[in-house]
Structure 1
Amino acid sequence: MSRRHKSNDSAGEGRETEIRIIGGQYRGSRLAYHGDPVTRPMKHRVREAIFNLIGLEAEGRHALDLFAGTGALGLEALSRGAASALFIERHIPTARVVRENIAHLDVDDECTVLEASAFVWAKRDLPTGKNTPDASRPWLVFVSPPYAFFVDRQQEMLDLVTSVLQHAPPASTMVVEADERFDFSLLPGPVREHRRDDGWDIRTYLPAVVGVWRKE
């Protein structure tokens, strides 16, 4: 997965320039990343930890990668059996990289790339079902914007997550990646205190902090 971050984000150090699919049908496939400074790939170990955490939950689902970057999260989900993937990326050169990676894996028929702001999509399209997967099967939603968005655009992020959770079909899973500056208790629903509790399952993989919500 790649994410767009300001240069002063805490994750800016140790930039990884090679991105590969970690598991599933396309395991080992290399994804394009042209070194654009507005796109920072998520560390391999964090992406691997996320998919270890959600296990087989990609199987048969619609994947939504709302801040797509290189598209690695949505493509990883397809590799692990997702039925389709919607990539939302407002930065046009980066959206071209998503399309390049889709073509490289030859999964064009399963993918849709939307060159738009995820915030605009959530307000304009999500309530009407336009540019949105149908509700015939659960969704697997990835929300991994620039970390600074959780500070500078916090209310917009909260509104986006709330809207997606409201419209997602039952049994959907949402993965939110932030950093330590964000308080996950601000999101709708409780934060787990114990492993068997309901609510956001929060895991820390510094600099990333990941929250997983499973909708009943």
Structure 2
Amino acid sequence: MARKRPPKHRAEKVRQPLNAPTMLRVIGGEMGGRGFRYNGDAGLRPMKDRVREAVFNLIGPTAQGKVVIDLFGGTGAMAFEAISRGAVSARVIERRFPNAKMITENAESLGIADRVEVQAGDTFIAYKQLAPPAVPALIFCCPPYDFYVERAEETLALITKMCEIAPPFSLILVESDARFDPSLLPNAEAWDVRTYSPAVIALYEKPESSN
């Protein structure tokens, strides 16, 4: 009779976070090269450096003097980059409280805490209470790509509202992936649409005569 081998004890699998905490960096402007912390939250999708650089090459010097509204703050990278390039202040909305805290701490470490207001909450609720900016704004709408499928109607309503309340000469930037059809954007023919795979960037400057 064959001897039974003792059962093997399988090592328990340890779930690792999708992303390890790391440092991101400001690419250009007065803070260019300075780092800030990314906590590794797998729910975030930080814009790749090459895409962020391309975006701000498109925006160019028009960031100067504008106020930033970052609707899906994530790591805060877009707001930090804009301030580094001359924006006067930023309001950042981030739904995850740990990430909102991270953005606040990063603003402090960069020495711009007095210019960055972080609001922890749901953008789809918060934007309805936003007052029209008093000066031209730089508005970033970079939600999770799945929102363009799962919350398509709400996301389009958000973009439309921001275009309506933005003062003339404001810039509105929308980041999506290829699943979103830019022809659905309000005043679609006026948007400059570029692909930086997998990202699709649409940029709109509100004209002086716009109502």
TM-score in same-fold range (> 0.5): yes
Q: Which residue in 2 is equivalent to 1:161? A: 159
DSSP 3-state at the match of 1:106: coil
Q: C-alpha separation between the residues in 2 aligned to 1:34 and 1:116? A: 18
**What amino acid is aligned across from residue 37 of structure 1 in structure 2?**
A
Q: Does 1:23 align with 2:28?
A: yes
TM-score normalised by the chain length of structure 1: 0.84
- Whole-Å separation in 1 of the counterparts to 2:19 and 2:185: 30
- 2:140 aligned counterpart, secondary structure: strand
Q: Is the 8 A contact 1:89 1:116 kept in 2?
A: yes
**Alpha-carbon distance between aligned partners in 2 of 1:32 and 1:150, rounded to the nearest angstrom:** 28
Give the deviation of 1:14 after TM superposition.
10
Q: Is the 8 A contact 2:21 2:38 kept in 1?
A: no
Map 1:1-216 → 2, pairs under 5 A: 17-123=22-128, 125-126=129-130, 129=131, 134-135=133-134, 137-191=135-189, 199-216=190-207
Cα–Cα, structure 1 residues 93 and 16, in superposed 2: closer, same or farther, change >3 Å? Answer: closer
Greater C-alpha radius of gyration = 2
What percent of counterpart residues are identical? 47
Q: Which amino acid in 2 is paired with 1:82?
A: A
2: CA distance, partners of 1:138 / 1:94:
27
Determine if contact 2:71/2:141 at 8 Å carries over to the other structure: yes
Q: Which has the higher contact order (CA 8 A, sep 6+)?
A: 1
4+ residue runs over 2 A deviation: 13-18
Deviation at 1:190, TM superposition (A): 2.4
Q: Which runs of 5+ in 2 are unaligned?
A: 1-17
| Contact 2:25-2:32 at 8 Å conserved across structures | yes
How far apart are residue 15 of structure 1 and its match?
Answer: 9.3
